[in-house]
Amino acid sequence: MPLCVITAGEKLPELPLLARVMAASLKTDPTSAAIKARHCWGLLGAGLDEAGASELGALCAGLGIKTLTLPDPGPAKLPIPQPVKKVAFENGRALFTGTGAQLTAVIPEDVSLLAAAPIKEDFFKTVKSSEGPSAQEQAVRIGIMVATGLPIGMGKTKETKKEVKTSELSFYLDILLKGGQERLRLNSAAFDFSGLKEKKTYSSQVNFRLLCAELSAFTPAAFRNACLLAMQEGRPLTLLPYDSLADLETEELRLTLARQQPL
| Amino acid of residue 149 | G
Instruction: Say if domain 3-71 classifies as CATH 3.90.25.
Output: no
What is the C-alpha to C-alpha distance for residues 170 and 188, in angstroms, rounded to an integer?
Answer: 6
Any residues with CB less than 8 A from the CB of 51 and at least 6 apart, and which? Answer: none
Model pLDDT for residues 42-83, shown as the tens digit of each residue: 999 999 999 999 999 999 999 999 999 999 988 778 999 999
Predicted confidence at residue 262, as pLDDT, reads 66
Query: Rounded to whole angstroms, what are the CA distances from 187 to 190, 191, 208?
Result: 6, 6, 9
Count Cβ atoms within 10 A of the Cβ of residue 20 and give its class: 0-12 exposed, 13-18 middle, 19 or more buried. Answer: buried
Predicted confidence at residue 184, as pLDDT, reads 97
144 pairs with which residues across the strands?
A: none
What is the C-alpha to C-alpha distance for residues 117 and 170, in angstroms, rounded to an integer?
Answer: 8
Ranges of residues in the chain whose predicted pLDDT is under 70: 123-133, 139-140, 143-147, 149-158, 262-263
- Asked if residue 57 lies in contact with residue 5, where contact means CB atoms within 8 angstroms, the answer is yes
SS3 176: strand
Model pLDDT for residues 177-200, shown as the tens digit of each residue: 988 889 999 999 999 999 999 999
Q: What is the dihedral of CA 30, 36, 41, 43, to 10 degrees?
A: -100
172: closest CA among 114, 236, 238, 250? 114
Kindly list the domain boundaries of the chain, sorted by start residue: 3-71, 82-123+165-243, 125-164
What is the C-alpha to C-alpha distance for residues 168 and 123, in angstroms, rounded to an integer?
Answer: 8
